[in-house]
Structure 1
């Protein structure tokens, strides 16, 4: 082996010539190392295949499920188990395979559905449904196309519940209908084994079809007028019924008072008549005269003009007392200017005590009209 001498062209490189690497030999050295590991010929290819198979098995058996997903493991095409979020290992394909589904994502479905109400009115009802996957196993294997099943079940539930309600309920208070539709839809999804659950359901709008909108608005106005008339009638009834009851009570009270006073007056008259009958038995003449005087006094006290036998008019003029008390009538005689038409009638008693018979009224002179007749 020759060594470089000073002053040569190697610029001080004193290493042996076999230790120097020519440029571009680094990649070749790596390939040589790999060939040394696997050998040359057919044995080296098998080692490469084995390494690739090992790497494939490692990646195929390892499964990572995210937080939003659920993994459904199939063994020879049939359901085996459900993998929760996290790393997992399984048997290599084709023994086991994994299908991942998003179990936390909420999906929405909206559509306008024409529905016939119980009273025969057609309305377009808007449906808004939000749902998610509750059971990955049933979602994949429970029914075919579960989301399409949900759409059909939602429409069926809306038609069923609104078909049992009248138009006023559909247009007015839909909160009860919304609850009923949601319960019916959830029951249908469970019966059909869709693996879906309803998180929210709304019926935000209900309106008549455009073809009958004018007629529908007119009917609504008529219903509003009907409600107004009913409310006014009820208000009037609330006002007039208490007044009528008060009037009825007042009439009953007045009638009871009249009944009591009438009965008491009748009882008093009966008692008075009984006493008069007893007195009449003892002194009939005096009793009869006293009754006559009482009757005359009662009749004459009600008259303001009394004509006596002396052809004078007696007027009762109310005269008040000095103290300002109530006025009492006093008789005043006023001479008459007209000629006396009726003679005075007197009654005298005979010596025997009998009354002179009444000779009657003199004949009245006829007037000019009567003479012409």
Structure 2
């Protein structure tokens, strides 16, 4: 026992050359490991004994070295992409650039009218809250993928297959993005959706030919309907215009006839009043005015007979045919008398 105590005292009194300097150097190097740099597009998340402690922005920072504190740098400006229902060359290195592989377990969905549709879409998102992204969800990328698939299945299940294949793709994408963002916010994932884009939407391969025929027939129906609508828009205004013109012409003719009849009635009344005052004079004046009108009308065929010719003429004389049987000359025609 005394021998052991003696050796222990000798060991304590022994001095290693440079031992203290070595310890100081190790401590300095350990302290220097706490220096870290956060890039312009990054956020630094400092953990103390594995628990979130603080978040740092871009620049030079320091934390208590491991194992007391550790730091995770996360790029929050990076736009991450997830593919649902297919895999492209960027996600699967076994494919060449431009090639894709369908994943039917993710893409086949049931529509509201109980049809199956193959929906392939992609999602782009960014990290909005680094702490929530790292600590609130286990496997954030898998969570985003599951939320995207669940949201798309719910929206597709509320729509008919025609809407998904043709006219309402944009509305379906907007509704899916809103529902997906709501799910991610509810789980406090710290993720912000940037874009949701449908890459390919089509019926299952087994029935795609039949659906193409249906779509073609529907397009023909829409085309014929549009042509008929265009014809209707062209013909109706013209028909309405013609009808309006006929109405205006009829109203003008009516007004002309009424005014003419009223004028004739007024003239007849005036002549009747004059006739009552002087019958012989009025009768002679009317005769002369009538003859003047007949003789001055260039469109009337005239045949003038003298008194002798009238005495010798047969009782029946076809005046309407007689001028047509003889050569036409300018002026009036005479027979047995002077013009």
Q: Tell me the TM-score normalized by structure 2.
A: 0.63
Match runs of 1:142-161 below 5 Å: 142-161=136-155
Q: 1:209 to 1:53 in 2, by over 3 A?
A: farther
In 2, Cα distance between equivalents of 1:65 and 1:120: 56
Which position in structure 1 is the counterpart of 2:75? 103
| Residues 56-90 of structure 1: per-residue CA shift (max 9 Å, x gap) | 78527733435466543333443211245545231
Aligned partners of 2:63 and 2:69 also within 8 Å: no
Does residue 319 of structure 1 match 2:293? no
Q: Report the structure, 1 or 2, having the larger helix content.
A: 2
Candidates 140, 163, 167, aligned match of 2:134: 140
Candidates 24, 30, 37, aligned match of 1:59: 30
Does residue 244 of structure 1 match 2:239? yes
In 1, Cα distance between equivalents of 2:79 and 2:179: 20
Q: 1:151 to 1:312 in 2, by over 3 A?
A: closer
2:256 alignment partner, SS class? helix
In 2, Cα distance between equivalents of 1:256 and 1:283: 40
Q: CA deviation at 1:100?
A: 2.0
User: Per chain length, whose mean CA-contact separation is higher, i.e. which structure has more relative contact order (CA < 8 Å, sep 6+)?
Assistant: 2
Which position in structure 2 is the counterpart of 1:355? none
In 2, Cα distance between equivalents of 1:218 and 1:57: 77
Q: Tell me the TM-score normalized by structure 1.
A: 0.58
Q: CA deviation at 1:267?
A: 0.7
Q: Bigger radius of gyration, 1 or 2?
A: 1
Q: CA deviation at 1:40?
A: 6.2
2:199 alignment partner, SS class? coil
Q: 1:205 to 1:65 in 2, by over 3 A?
A: farther
Structure 1 runs not aligned, ≥5 long: 1-38, 322-326, 334-373
Which position in structure 1 is the counterpart of 2:63? 89
Q: Provide the aligned C-alpha RMSD in A.
A: 4.7
Structure 2 runs not aligned, ≥5 long: 1-8, 86-106, 295-299, 304-312
In 1, Cα distance between equivalents of 2:163 and 2:302: 76
Does residue 80 of structure 1 match 2:87? no
Does residue 197 of structure 1 match 2:186? no
In 2, Cα distance between equivalents of 1:313 and 1:86: 129
Match runs of 1:107-256 below 5 Å: 107-112=80-85, 113-116=107-110, 122-162=116-156, 167-168=162-163, 171=166, 174-175=169-170, 177-256=172-251
Q: 1:57 to 1:312 in 2, by over 3 A?
A: closer
Q: CA deviation at 1:255?
A: 0.7
Aligned partners of 2:165 and 2:202 also within 8 Å: no
1:205 alignment partner, SS class? strand
